[in-house]
A = this chain, B = another copy of it.
């Protein structure tokens, strides 16, 4: 394996694994004899009306449009993209992203990487620190496995201790399996998120040098993700924030080069700021993941003119179970959608049926007509919610129901298993 360098996107080989392509959609969703498995198996080909509530539904037409627009954007800006699979947690979707030009996927957890690898995804980056001994053994085993399949594992670090722990375990596994597998190691710098990472500058150089002391590790570049900037509403403010990030990255990269170290790649960016990183001239790889589904929170950002238009593709189908003069109650609450980035919005088919969703607890949502309207939906009415935040919403569900032909008249095209649901470790 060559060390990663900036490669024109068009020449990148597909990392698509044969195993992923062969996955039948309903396999292992639930014990085959269970009512859930029977229901799911029977659903494919049926009208959207047959979908039980509450259910997580993917508008596959919208998802495919988003995917195409992202691929076009990356090609146009000659930047690699490695979407975050922590968002969808699905091998089938990861595979589709790679077919559309992604170089592989990011994940945050070792168990997510294992789920992706088990499905045939071969190019995986754990964009997070891993320090537990038991987890590092799994990381090293995965590096070995992916290398044997012609793939590559990468990981982030932000401490000498983390590097040493990883190096020791990698050396153990290499000796045990007589392999020369190498793990790509990115040094995480904190570019404003205030979470993991060393400050931009000299400390990153120290870590790059430390990585180079260990044969099983390969310095792969810089991880520079500004999570807080993603949700800043003003496009100009986001541009200003990422301009500072780009300066920090350039400065750090120069220090690394000054030590005679090949600087590798700069990887980062989310859906909120990706146009800024793509235009910066210093970022090689975009990690944006939410663009694929778009959540209610990202929809509140002022769109940067350079940003492709991404459509909502993830919905919670819900039904009204109680109705009275001033409000109705639907069957979707905190256990159907995450509320860390705010409550869901209600998808509007007709202008005169706008509804506001209010907190009804774990299993209920309270619906009131918007803007002085009086039409309260009646018992049995089906509604579609746009979740506030995709990632933790997907993580609540064992499967998503993929629909084509629209939410009103469409049909169920496939069941999408959330392969890495609950993959926390």
Contact = CB atoms under 8 A, between A and B. Distances in A.
A54 B424 contact: yes
Nearest to A160: B379
Contacts of A28: 31
Interface string A243-279: 0000000000000000000000000000000000000
Nearest to A323: B159
A158 B114 contact: no
Contacts of A319: 131-132
Contacts of A55: 424-425
A343 to B, nearest CB: 10
A23 to B, nearest CB: 15
A192 interface: no
A161 interface: yes
Interface stretch (A68-76, A303-311, A331-339): A331-339
A52 B194 CA distance: 26
Interface stretch (A1-9, A11-19, A175-183, A393-401): A393-401
Contact of A339 (B129, B159, B339, B361): B339
22 contacts: A28-B31, A35-B138, A52-B135, A53-B425, A55-B424, A129-B322, A130-B321, A131-B320, A161-B380, A194-B327, A194-B366, A195-B366, A196-B329, A197-B322, A198-B324, A334-B338, A335-B392, A339-B339, A339-B340, A340-B362, A362-B391, A397-B424
